[in-house]
């Protein structure tokens, strides 16, 4: 919808918006495979330390 | 089993000594959701055939609720997110009763000396029939009652949709498909997604659904005809009922407000925050905001999460006197080892939160998962000038519920096998972290999800005075890897719930 366009003085104007490079790396298979491993390790750290 | 309970009152501290004269214990688990099912399977694994584990659940299915989001946008079918419980329980030698619990009698009654639960059968040839099921230990893991009635006009039977159960998600997808057909014919539609009550929780699920709908619209090239609005009772977007969080991102320590608003802006989703929905009519939502203004927003399709309440069980003592208020908070959730004393927000601390989920009066009753009564919100309570509390209730779903279920099971095992009276296994939301993978579009190569972790769930401002949580444990990242993790979790936890070989190696 036209209303979806980001304009000043709307809430949508103020948050950071991903650049083309950010969007590229978000879908880059090789980089995301690395992130997949890293994020899983970080989640495991939370899980293991979560209860006694 | 014959159990002797010796009680003495010393500064309101009740000591239980369990003497086991017989080797057989009977544990009844109410509910077969993430918490109840985890508790039941671990109890059986640890106790073996010597002891009896009974699961009472009104639904014949186990459902992996986090994936209902994908059912609601047609990316998964209902069979992929749920399975029948009975074959699994038969294989594990767990007795399964398809029934709902009506009342707890922790001291028995004049006819039955042992503690028991009154259940009513559902969905079988015995529908409507009631029965007394005795227990030595009771795990109340009923989860929440979806309290659509708390908001006039809310719910799948009325004007809005839900993804809180697999059946709801199926109906929601049917309605969404209808909307898609209308848009393909040139109509422009308004979608409103968020929370449907001033004190609703589970913002994360609604957040995921909003992003998935936006992703679907883009996939179908209908984004120009879909006006998607997020409506929420959060003070700021990204509060998620846990007072928001800070994550390391892009060289900064960033609030989840910025992280969440950024995703909304990217997906073209508008937002209304600090809004307590109080009434829904056909195509019109009424809400009050924290400024005390009463406003409306029109919609063609709305998915709003209802308030949660306890399952609505009653409790009676031996003489038949109603002791519901002793076991349950007014919300219907069960009282456990939390500090329920009323105190201002500034005095709240992580010590207020329970760690064993044991009822303080009846030490053989536990309430893990959503069934326990939280001591208070996590987010700061906010009231409108009209006196309406517009603040999310604390979230207790997913990962924490599984951990609580396991901890309860391990403590009961210790009480039975080792005659332990002091509970060693603990899992407080003030000391455990949580990982939340927010799906933002289903596609193996073009999907997206935001992975967020926090530690602990309840901010500990004494230990972490600057940010309330351990920043080095936090993650806030969007990308395809998050979608793969969400998919992995789906298949991994369904595998675990089906109790396939080595299921217990998969952590909660």
Q: Is B433 on the interface with A (CB under 8 A)?
A: yes
Listed by number, the residues of chain B in 463-482 with a beta carbon closer than 8 Å to a beta carbon of chain A are 473, 475, 477-482
pLDDT digit string (tens) for B420-441?
788 999 999 999 988 889 888 8
B245: its two tokens: 């969080």
pLDDT digit string (tens) for B30-41?
999 999 999 999
- State whether residue B373 is helix, strand or coil: coil
What are the two backbone dihedrals, phi and then psi, of residue B78, each rounded to the nearest 5 degrees? -60, -30
Q: Is B446 on the interface with A (CB under 8 A)?
A: yes
CA distance B201 to B438: 15
Give, for B133, the enclosing helix (H) or strand (E). strand B130-134
What are the two backbone dihedrals, phi and then psi, of residue B493, each rounded to the nearest 5 degrees? -75, -30
What are the two backbone dihedrals, phi and then psi, of residue B361, each rounded to the nearest 5 degrees? -95, -50
pLDDT bracket for residue A7 (50, 70, 90)? low
Q: Is B248 on the interface with A (CB under 8 A)?
A: no
Q: Is B190 on the interface with A (CB under 8 A)?
A: no
CA distance B173 to B176: 5
Q: Is B82 on the interface with A (CB under 8 A)?
A: no
What are the two backbone dihedrals, phi and then psi, of residue B191, each rounded to the nearest 5 degrees? -110, 130
pLDDT given for residue A3 in this prediction: 53
Q: What does the pLDDT average to over B315-344?
A: 95
pLDDT given for residue B21 in this prediction: 46
pLDDT bracket for residue A6 (50, 70, 90)? low
CA distance B201 to B220: 31
Chain A residues with CB inside 8 Å of B457's CB?
Answer: none
pLDDT digit string (tens) for B211-248?
999 999 999 999 999 999 999 999 999 999 999 999 88
Chain A residues with CB inside 8 Å of B405's CB?
Answer: none
Chain A residues with CB inside 8 Å of B227's CB?
Answer: 1, 3-4
Contacts of B346 (CB under 8 A, 6+ apart): none
CA distance B261 to B259: 6
| ipTM, two decimals | 0.88
Peptide bond into B456 cis (omega under 30): yes
Picking from A9, A13, A46 by the largest number of B CB atoms within 10 A of its own CB, the best residue to mutate is A46
Q: How far is residue B128 CA from its own chain's centroid? A: 27
Chain B residue closest to A38 (CA)?
B481
pLDDT digit string (tens) for B439-457?
888 889 999 999 988 999 9
Our CA dihedral for B258, B261, B262, B264, rounded to 10 degrees, sits at 170
Cα-trace Rg, chain A? 18
pLDDT digit string (tens) for B17-72?
444 444 699 999 999 999 999 999 999 999 999 999 999 999 999 999 999 999 99
Q: What does the pLDDT average to over B485-495?
A: 95
Encode B12-26 in three state secondary structure: CEECCCEEECCCCCE
The runs of H, that is alpha helices, within B331-433 are 399-417
pLDDT given for residue B11 in this prediction: 34
pLDDT given for residue B472 in this prediction: 87
pLDDT bracket for residue B399 (50, 70, 90)? confident
The runs of H, that is alpha helices, within B19-84 are 34-47, 68-71, 78-81
Q: How open is the CA angle B248-B254-B260, to the nearest 5 degrees? A: 110
pLDDT given for residue B165 in this prediction: 94
Chain B residues with CB inside 8 Å of A14's CB?
Answer: 261
User: How would you classify the pairing of strands B61-63 and B82-84?
Assistant: antiparallel
- State whether residue B215 is helix, strand or coil: helix
B285 burial (CB, 10 Å; 0-12 / 13-18 / 19+) is buried
> In the Cβ-directed half-sphere of B21, how many Cα atoms lie within 13 Å?
5
pLDDT given for residue A47 in this prediction: 78
CA distance B315 to B152: 29
CA distance B247 to B472: 9
Q: Does residue B194 contact residue B274 with C-beta atoms inside 8 Å?
A: no
A50 pLDDT more than 60: no
pLDDT digit string (tens) for B133-172?
999 999 999 999 999 999 999 999 999 999 999 999 999 9
Residue in the block written with tokens 């530690």? B455
pLDDT given for residue B9 in this prediction: 42
pTM: 0.91
């Amino acid at each position: 919808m036209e209303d979806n366009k980001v304009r000043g003085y709307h809430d949508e104007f103020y948050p950071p918006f991903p650049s083309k490079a950010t969007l590229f790396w978000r879908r880059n298979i090789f980089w995301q495979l690395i992130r997949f491993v890293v994020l899983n390790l970080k989640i495991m750290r939370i899980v293991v330390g979560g209860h006694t | 089993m014959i159990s002797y309970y010796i009680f003495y009152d010393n500064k309101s501290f009740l000591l239980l000594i369990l003497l086991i004269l017989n080797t057989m214990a009977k544990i009844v688990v109410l509910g077969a959701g993430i918490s109840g099912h985890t508790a039941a399977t671990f109890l059986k694994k640890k106790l073996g055939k010597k002891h009896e584990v009974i699961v009472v659940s009104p639904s014949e299915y186990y459902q992996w609720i986090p994936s209902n989001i994908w059912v609601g946008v047609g990316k998964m079918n209902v069979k992929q997110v749920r399975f029948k419980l009975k074959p699994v329980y038969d294989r594990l030698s767990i007795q399964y009763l398809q029934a709902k619990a009506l009342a707890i009698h922790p001291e028995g009654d004049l006819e039955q000396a042992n503690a028991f639960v009154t259940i009513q059968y559902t969905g079988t040839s015995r529908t409507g029939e009631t029965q007394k099921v005795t227990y030595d230990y009771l795990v109340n893991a009923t989860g929440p009652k979806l309290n659509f009635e708390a908001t006039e006009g809310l719910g799948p039977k009325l004007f809005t949709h839900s993804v809180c159960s697999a059946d709801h998600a199926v109906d929601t997808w049917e309605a969404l498909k209808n909307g898609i057909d209308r848009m393909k014919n040139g109509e422009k539609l308004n979608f409103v997604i968020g929370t449907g009550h001033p004190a609703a929780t589970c913002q994360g699920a609604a957040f995921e659904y909003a992003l998935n709908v936006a992703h679907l619209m883009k996939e179908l090239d209908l984004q120009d005809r879909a006006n998607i609005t997020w409506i929420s009772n959060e003070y700021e977007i990204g509060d998620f009922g846990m007072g928001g969080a800070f994550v390391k991102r892009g060289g900064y320590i960033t609030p989840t407000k910025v992280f969440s608003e950024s995703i909304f802006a990217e997906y073209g989703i508008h937002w209304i925050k600090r809004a307590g929905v109080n009434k829904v009519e056909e195509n019109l939502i009424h809400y009050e905001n924290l400024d005390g203004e009463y406003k409306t927003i029109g919609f063609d399709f709305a998915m709003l999460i209802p308030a949660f309440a306890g399952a609505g069980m009653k409790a009676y003592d031996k003489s038949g006197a109603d002791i519901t208020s002793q076991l349950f908070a007014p919300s219907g959730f069960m009282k456990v080892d939390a500090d329920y004393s009323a105190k201002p927000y500034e005095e709240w601390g992580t010590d207020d939160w329970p760690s064993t989920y044991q009822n303080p009066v009846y030490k053989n009753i536990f309430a893990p998962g959503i069934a326990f009564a939280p001591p208070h919100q996590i987010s700061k309570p906010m009231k409108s000038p009209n006196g309406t509390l517009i603040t999310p209730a604390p979230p207790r779903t997913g990962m924490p519920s599984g951990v609580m279920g396991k901890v309860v099971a391990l403590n009961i095992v210790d009480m039975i096998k080792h005659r332990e009276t002091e509970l060693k296994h603990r899992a407080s939301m003030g000391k455990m972290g949580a990982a939340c993978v927010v799906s933002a579009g289903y596609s193996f190569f073009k999907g997206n999800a935001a992975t967020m972790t926090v530690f602990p769930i309840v901010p500990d401002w004494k230990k972490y005075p600057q940010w309330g949580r351990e920043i080095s444990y936090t993650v806030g990242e969007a990308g395809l890897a998050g979608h793969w993790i969400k998919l992995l979790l789906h298949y991994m936890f369904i595998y675990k719930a089906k109790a396939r070989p080595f299921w217990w190696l998969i952590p909660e």
